[in-house]
Structure 1
Amino acid sequence: MVSSSHEAMHRIFRQEPGLFARVARKLDIPAFGTPISVTELPTDLTENHPVERRVDTLLQIEEAGGSYVLAVEAQGKPNDSKHATWAYYMTFAQEKYKLPPLLLVICKNQRTADWAARPVKFGPPQWQGLALRPLVIGPRDIPAVESLDEATRDVPMAVLSAILHSEERSVDGTLKVLAAALKAMEARDPDRAGLFEEFTNQGLDKTKAFEIWRQLLATETSFFTSSLSQELRAEGEARGEIRRATTNLLELLEGRGIPVSDADREQITSCDDLDTLGRWFRRAITATSTTEVLA
């Protein structure tokens, strides 16, 4: 099953194709130019037989030095069966689009990145006629973005950095500056900020960093627009209603002179069901003890 984290790691390149050239500059390889134009290509590389092969993201990129096809794959763990699949992607893209293909593999943990970066040769020992050499990006290749200026200048890179470093203990600093950078982008371009916030939500899903990110969004939900932010806003509104209902009930009991024990107070304040609190409030209007109210 494809995870939301997997989707975020490659879909961010569809939304921000120029990110690839900036990412590649982090590596010790000849620089790729800034795209002049980008065409999103169909990701289905299936031939007319039962085997289906679908690359995660496929882009045709034109730059000053020429054009090429960029295939982006998000890889969660080592899987030797992917080598033949990736080799197929490259040869198929070369044949179909008549352009040089390049495979970019994005990995959230360094062990997987080291595995993916190993060149793989195909053929008998006497003569291996095909070699696969993907371009691999892992946590070691993209430094953690911990400067607000840097995050604000390149929000997509900050998002990718947060996803790649999501399994590290020090990720909270990266998430804090990313939240601030997204907040600044929200004021300028709310639609674009919403997209990159959604990529962050997906990329951090099912990691320890997700709870830190969730808490950061919860402190300023009015600035963010993703589905997670809307969920947090709804939760906040529900908690507010529960607090008001709890306060109203305790004030009514106090106003009517009905003693409330510590155990009763604990039962009332720990209740998070508005229907139950409403029922207790209606009973408290005429009840003579908390036993009648909470029965």
Structure 2
Amino acid sequence: MVTQQHEGLTKITTLNFGHTAQMLRALFDLPIPESGEARLASPELSEAAPSVCRADGALLYGENEHKLGIITETQRGRDDEKMYSWLEYIANFRAREKCPTCLVVICPDRNIARWAAKPIETGHPGLTLTPLVIGPDNTPVITDVAEALSNIGLAIVSAVTKSDDPLFRDILGTLDKALNELDRQLAGQYGRYIAVSLTGIAQKEWGRLMAMQTYPYQGEYAESLLAEGEAKGAAKGEAKGEAKGEAKLLLKLLELRGFAVSEEIRARVNGCEDTAQLEAWFQRAYSAGSTEELFD
């Protein structure tokens, strides 16, 4: 089952091609072309109608004979079927794009990262696939803003994979400051994807940082959440659907801020069909000190 955390990590790797390339060069010294086109490739890798072969993400760097394909996978649990499908992803992408292709697997969990990094024997002599794994053990602890800015892609995946590190608050605080130096819209998108990629206490800490709105980009983050709720409602074509989307986002924001969301509060929010009232609660949720203050 694809979760929000899964989707968030995939979006992080495909949001900015340059940042992802810089991160992969630092971690694996991949020969990603410095010049030429970089684009999002189709993750649909099926070659035959009977089966579906789809990766989480696919990037294509360079052009002509100087191309390199990158398949990105997010793995939060063990799935032994991947030992077969990952080989298929590489073979199909390589055949379609006529270029060398690498597999990168992001694993926030240390045990899953170790599992994913094991060599996959194909049975053919000399042909062994060893996935390039990004996990807690091979990403650095970045607590210096200048260092984070020098490789923002690495700083982001490091923050996500270091969520159980004793310094995770310093790591997230550094990333927050670094994002403020980027384009506001891009930083806002990163902020949203980081929020859903994190779990537990780290996710609440990131929500707290976003709620402070110290930096302009955090406002972009809040606006994107609100816009997402409006888009969901508009897609349903009725005010009730819009209210339902905004109510869901409001409850998510309260959880990110660390509030205990009781069944009574959940029922009150979900039962509200007044989008203006939900918007007012949503904006107030960023500064409220308690749920009582939110509804006062």
TM-score exceeds 0.5: yes
Cα 1:183/1:46, change in 2 over 3 Å? same
Distance in structure 2 (CA, Å) of the matches to 1:166 and 1:71: 24
- 1:214 aligned residue (203, 207, 212): 207
Structure 1 residues 114 and 63, CA, compared in 2 at 3 Å: closer, same or farther? farther
Say which SS state the counterpart of residue 184 (structure 1) adopts.
coil
Choose which of 135, 138, 143 in structure 2 pairs with 1:141: 138
Distance 1:35 1:163, change over 3 A: farther
Structure 2 residue aligned with 1:98? 98
Q: Which residue of 2 aligns with 1:237?
A: 284
Aligned to 1:173: 170
8 A contact 1:33–1:64 mirrored in 2: no
Aligned to 2:51: 51
Task: Give the fraction of aligned pairs with identical amino acids, expressed as a percent.
Answer: 27
Conserved? CA contact 2:8–2:193, under 8 Å: yes
Deviations, residues 122-165 of structure 1 (Å, cap 9, x unaligned): 23xxx557422221111222202110222233333222211111
The farther-off stretch of 152-161 and 77-86 is 152-161
Cα distance, 1:130–1:184 mapped onto 2, change above 3 Å: closer
Question: 2:179 and 2:285 mapped to 1: Cα distance?
Answer: 26
CA contact (8 A) 1:38 1:60 kept: yes
Q: Which runs of 5+ in 2 are unaligned?
A: 227-249, 254-279
Q: TM-score, normalised by structure 2?
A: 0.71
Partner Cα distance (1:270, 1:87) in 2? 54
When structure 1 is superposed on structure 2, of 46-55 and 233-242 the one drifting more is: 233-242
Which stretches in structure 1 are left out of the alignment for 5+ residues? 244-268, 275-295
Cα drift, residue 239 of structure 1: 8.9
Bigger Rg, which one: 1
Q: 1:62 to 1:222 in 2, by over 3 A?
A: closer
Q: Is it true that 1:40 corresponds to 2:49 in the alignment? A: no
> How far 1:58 sits from its partner (Å)?
0.9
Deviations 1:4-51 (A, max 9, x none): 221222322222223344333444656544353212111111233332
Is it true that 1:155 corresponds to 2:152 in the alignment?
yes
Give the deviation of 1:69 after TM superposition: 1.3
Task: Determine the structure 2 residue equivalent to 1:293.
Answer: none
The alignment partner of 1:2 has SS state of: coil
The one-letter amino acid paired with 1:194 is G
1:113 maps to which residue? 113
> How do 1:281-292 and structure 2 match up within 5 A?
none
- Answer yes or no: is the 8 Å Cα contact 1:83–1:132 preserved in 2: no
SS of 1:18's partner is: helix
Residue 179 of structure 1: how far off its partner (Å):
1.4
Give 1:55 shift.
0.5
1:216-238 alpha-carbon deviations (Å, 9 max, x no partner): 22222673122487656844626
CA contact (8 A) 2:76 2:107 kept: yes
Q: Take 1:160 and 1:108, find their aligned partners in 2: how far apart are those partners?
A: 9
How far is the alpha carbon of 1:99 from its aligned partner?
A: 1.1
The whole-number CA distance in structure 1 between the counterparts of 2:151 and 2:117 is: 26
Change (3 A) 1:84 1:176: same
Report deviation, 1:214.
Answer: 1.3
The corresponding residue for 2:273 is none
Q: What SS does structure 2 have at the residue aligned with 1:226? A: helix
Contact 2:44 / 2:55 at 8 angstroms: preserved in 1?
A: yes
Cα 1:64–1:128, aligned 2, differ >3 Å: closer, same or farther?
closer
**Cα deviations across residues 168-227 of structure 1 (Å, max 9, x unaligned)?**
232100111111222333xxx2211111111211211x3220111111222226731224
Letter aligned with residue 186 of structure 2: R
Instruction: Say whether residues 1:196 and 2:190 are aligned partners.
Output: yes
Does the C-alpha gap of structure 1 residues 209 and 80 become closer, same or farther in structure 2, counting only changes over 3 Å?
A: same
Number of residues paired by the alignment?
Answer: 242
Q: CA deviation at 1:273?
A: 4.7
Select the residue among 209, 221, 225 that pairs with 1:226.
221
User: What is residue 266 of structure 2 aligned with on the other side?
Assistant: none
Change in 2 beyond 3 A, CA 1:242/1:49: closer
Q: Please, what is the CA RMSD of the aligned residues? A: 3.1
Contact 2:288 2:294 in 1 (8 A): no
